[in-house]
Structure 1
Amino acid sequence: MTEKSVVESSSLHRSELHTSISDPVLDTMNFLNEITLRYPEAISFAPGRPYDGFFETDEVLAHLRRYLDHLADRGASPAQVRTAVYQYGPTAGQIREIIADSLRRDEGIDVPPESIVVTVGAQEAMLLVVRALIRDPRDVLLVSSPCYVGITGVARLLDVTLRAVPEPAEGFSPADLDAAIRAERAARRRPRAFYLVPDHANPSGSTLSAAARAELLELAARENVLILEDTPYRLVSPSEPLPTLKALDRRRSVVHLGSYSKTIFPGARVGFAVADQTVTGDDGRTGLLADELAKIKSMVTVNTSSLSQAVVAGALLAAGGRVSELNAKAAGHYGDAMRRVLDRLAERLPEARRAELGVRWNEPSGGFFLSLSVDFEADDAALVRSAEQFGVIWTPMRYFHPDGGGRRAIRLSVSYLSPEEIDEGITRLLAFVADQTGRHRAGRGRRR
């Protein structure tokens, strides 16, 4: 057999691969990374990542040392301490007690450590929970739309039917979820869970009100639908947060998804799921949903890095379990960055000019993101032009709409830029918006 024939026989066609690979949602992050690399001088409002200025390399070693000392203080032998860092460790995680203590202190979430599974970021937690809950093609995962692309990607990878529940500009309404649940059941499908980010959501920046939280919990219990609560931005925001849905949960209707990527550091890739729901087997024996998630995890990532868990645990121990205190300075910085972006938008786009261009934006009280509505198609082509000709990068909101919406809106991230970059970035952004709006309207006029 010739070398050429060997190469040809090993060639694959994309149509032979899983359909999710051809789904545009799986290309979104790669496309943004490509644009960032192609235009390194552009100011980017795209990355939803923490500000680098708060990271000190030496702290990683201090956190690790703190955790090792903790183990020794609790009676672990040198061999046991070595194993805790170097070996795989238990699938469900080796720092569950420390996480449970932190959740009690910081969030008022009182659950046994056994109900926690430590994951490779919140992304793996989403995958584990969705895989466990969705049993057959009739089962449906409901999501607030716009939503984080990670949950959309999980649904695509697992061949899960996704139903978007549109979130209006004024914020998510439980009544809309109620209607969606009824519509799915009328179509002989089974709504299993509803995913949302109730605090400073990615991408919209919206926060669920106290009244809506109570109404949502009542709805979930009544309709036997689990809530998947994702909470990455609560403790990096300057205002006093409302209680988590899990802290208010009295009927085990909420699976709480957490991450230390924004609060400690993203390179650790440590997250967790709180899954205290009871699962009963055919033999009548009961366990926790967390046990089932651990079974799935054992075949996905085996365990979360023991070294990463050790560093995160050390940080939690050093802060007395209070992530909110650990992040007080960072939360203030992100709050200032959000205020600066909103102030610059208001200064440079007075109401009359705003109305003339058809531009609107929301005003989140915290988190990393806000949404800007425009009067043109905010697609990939517009993004490339913005980066190339105006030196500013943003994220198309359509990436976050599994229902096909968001075509005339952009997401701005405030977390990663200095004050000077924000000022210059807003100047560039508004120059692009004005120019692109004019081009769009001129083209529309020619077509008439």
Structure 2
Amino acid sequence: MGDSTAPATRAARALDLTELHASLTDPVLDAMNFLNEVVSRFPEALSFAPGRPSEGTFATDDPARYLRTYTDHLKYELGWSEDRVRAQLFQYGRTNGIIHDLIARTLANDESIHVSPESVVVTTGCQEAMLLTLRALFARPEDTLLVSSPCYVGITGAARLLDIALCPVQEGATGPDPKAILAGVRQTRAAGGRPRALYVVPDFANPSGASMTVAAREQLLEIAAQEDLLILEDDPYGFFVREGSSRPTLKALDRERRVLHLGSFAKTAMPGARVGYVVADQEVIGPAGERTLLADQLSKIKSMTTVNTSAISQAVIGGLLIESDCRLRAANADAIAFYRTNLNTLLDELERHFPAARRRELGVDWNRPDGGFFLVVTVPFLADTKALEHSARNFGVLWTPMSDFYLDGGGSTQLRLSCSALTPEQIRDGVSRLAAFITGQASRAGR
């Protein structure tokens, strides 16, 4: 028999979205979820959307081998006991990370960035490095982050989560123009803001593929010193040169510790490990005159967020670095050649389907990056989510709307293509499908 004394069921109270954090209604935070949803709905479509690395160079037994290499390093090279090695792997560990020394050595070898291991904070992916850095540096409501426009949504999304004011700086063919950055600094001050830092991807930026010249990098550092501006340098793609030679990072050129260097092993090693880092070698002076590194201050924040980065993930990356003699650029030689071939194939196929006369007739064009994973195609129609769904359903090809990367309403007739996760054969097939889509849309737009 039923219990007549049971309380009556009441409808659950729904939460009001307007009473949650304002960032949850920001289109930037929806962009990634929408793209993932479209990819899952059209699994047979060839996708130029994700900026992830190719899986072709990964072997399933690599993580176990790297882990063994790291533990052997601790036992036989550093002389650690079995108990100490066990604690290193199975316990929480040092907040700032356990492979900071290997990362510092690798940065010296690959990038001529010479910093103490204590200035390196090992993070759960580069996204955490961004969050820690933004939270530490932006203390006042008027503190403003300058960003390139277009800009990677990870940094703009993180800034919005933290209620940090943003000032977009228009990007040119060779990345952000130092003069435009200076104008952005002065515009921010005139509006009552405090220009605190600039976020920049100097090599083969996501989403545009643009790269700064060495002269522009030097000029940017001069402006940073002149205007008391910090630089957040994100450099995930610098190894992957298509033409010419690699350029020095901003951190390698930095003489006044103006640059915080954000890094990741997602593109150069193993994205599934979720290991990144930030080089924060700036000195911090306390109220009693005590001196610490900014890395130590970031550690305080990390201890209240992720506590520490997975020791197992760090050990796997550590073993990879040891096997490569802490020379990750040389270890990526095959990957560099693969991505170079892919980007050349993408450019060649676009040229084949849209020769100069046809480009002029349709109003189609694209940039030609010197490396990296991305390029941008300009089209004569609205390249929005509706067009993306039409492209996926009827032509079997995916791409990313560029409007997601702009803070100031740009990119409405542009789409980003990423060639990193495809084979050359898939790129050729994908561009053929894309060309059919673009031609059809252009015809509908009256071109």
Fold shared by both chains (TM-score > 0.5): yes
Inter-partner Cα distance in structure 2 for 1:280 and 1:66: 40
The within-5 A match list for 1:404-443 is: 404-441=409-446
Correspondence 1:153 to 2:157: yes
Q: Give, in angstroms, the shift of residue 440 of structure 1.
A: 2.3
Cα shift readout 1:301-327 (whole Å, capped 9, x = no counterpart): 000000000000000010000110111
Q: Name the SS for the 1:272 alignment partner.
A: strand
The answer to whether the Cα contact below 8 Å between 1:398 and 1:406 also exists between their aligned partners in 2 is yes
Per-residue deviation, 1:3: 5.7
Report the equivalent of 2:33.
30
User: Which of 335, 342, 360 matches 1:337?
Assistant: 342
Within-5 A mapping of 1:138-287: 138-238=142-242, 240-287=245-292
Distance 2:104 2:283 in 1: 18
SS of equivalent residue, structure 2 residue 52: coil
The DSSP-based 3-state class of the residue aligned with 1:257 is strand
2:382 paired residue number: 377
Alignment-mate amino acid for residue 404 of structure 2: Y
TM superposition shift of 1:2? 4.9
Aligned match of 1:446: none
Which residue in 1 is equivalent to 2:19?
16
In structure 2, C-alpha distance between the alignment counterparts of 1:267 and 1:280, rounded to whole Å:
37
Code of the residue aligned with 2:42 in structure 1: it is Y
Partner residue of 2:65 out of 58, 62, 66: 62
Aligned to 2:82: 78
- C-alpha distance in 1, partners of 2:158/2:408? 16
SS in 1 for 2:239: helix
Cα distance in 2 for partners of 1:294, 1:126 equals 13
Q: What residue number does 1:133 align with?
A: 137
CA shift digits 1:33-78 (9 cap, x unpaired): 1111111111000010111110001111111011001111201110
SS at match of 2:261: strand
C-alpha separation in 2, matches of 1:382 and 1:43:
16
Check whether the contact 2:174–2:211 (CA below 8 A) recurs between aligned residues.
no
**CA distance in structure 2 between the partners assigned to 1:429 and 1:272 by the alignment:** 37
Distance 2:443 2:298 in 1: 52
Is contact 1:45–1:395 with CA below 8 Å preserved after alignment?
A: yes
**Structure 2 CA distance for aligned equivalents of residues 348 and 21 of structure 1:** 41
CA displacement, residues 365-415 of structure 1 (integer Å, 9 cap, x when unaligned): 111100111111111000000001111000000111112211110000000
Q: Which amino acid in structure 2 is aligned with residue 168 of structure 1?
A: G
When residues 382 and 366 of structure 1 are mapped into structure 2, their CA distance, relative to the original with a 3 A threshold, is same
Contact 1:143–1:196 at 8 Å: present in 2 too?
yes
Distance 1:2 1:42 in 2: 52
Bigger fraction of residues in helix? 1
Partner Cα distance (1:266, 1:252) in 2: 29
In 1, distance between residues paired with 2:301 and 2:361?
54
Structure 1 runs, 4 residues or longer, greater than 6 Å off = none
| Preserved contact between residue 175 and residue 202 of structure 2 (Cα < 8 Å) | no
Counting aligned pairs with the same residue, the percent is 54
Alignment of 1:93 onto 2:97:
yes
* Gapped regions of structure 1 (runs ≥ 5): 443-448
Report if aligned partners of 1:236, 1:263 keep a CA contact under 8 Å in 2.
Answer: no
- What SS class does the counterpart of residue 198 from structure 2 fall into? strand
* Correspondence 1:291 to 2:291: no
Deviations 1:256-302 (A, max 9, x none): 00000001110000000000111111101111111111111111100
Among candidates 75, 79, 103, match of residue 107 of structure 2: 103
Quick one: distance in 2 between partners of 1:299 and 1:213? 35
Give, in whole Å, the separation in 1 of the partners of 2:210 and 2:247: 13
Which stretch of the first structure deviates more once superposed, 233-242 or 89-98? 233-242
Name the amino acid aligned to 2:66: H
- For 1:309-388, list aligned pairs within 5 A: 309-388=314-393
Letter in 1 for 2:378: S
Q: Kindly indicate whether the alpha-carbon contact (under 8 Å) linking 1:90 and 1:303 is maintained by their aligned counterparts in 2.
A: yes
Provide the C-alpha distance between the structure 2 equivalents of 1:2 and 1:333, rounded to a whole number of angstroms: 65
- Structure 2 CA distance, aligned partners of 1:3 and 1:266? 50
Match for 1:222: what amino acid?
Answer: Q
Whole-angstrom CA distance in 2 between matches of 1:319 and 1:236: 17
Deviation at 1:4, TM superposition (A): 3.9
Query: How many pairs does the alignment contain?
Result: 440
Instruction: Give 3-state SS (helix, strand or coil) of 1:166's partner.
Output: strand
Q: Per-residue deviation at 1:188?
A: 1.7
How far residue 356 of structure 1 moved from its aligned partner, in angstroms, is 1.1
Shift in Å, 1:170: 4.6
Corresponding position of 2:3? none
Q: Cα–Cα, structure 1 residues 150 and 370, in superposed 2: closer, same or farther, change >3 Å? A: same
Normalised TM-score (structure 1)? 0.96
Distance 1:191 1:339 in 2: 39
SS at match of 1:55: coil
TM-score under structure 2 normalisation? 0.97
Report how far residue 236 of structure 1 moved. Answer: 3.4
User: Does the CA contact (< 8 Å) of 1:205 and 1:367 recur in 2?
Assistant: yes
Amino acid of the structure 2 residue aligned with 1:357: L
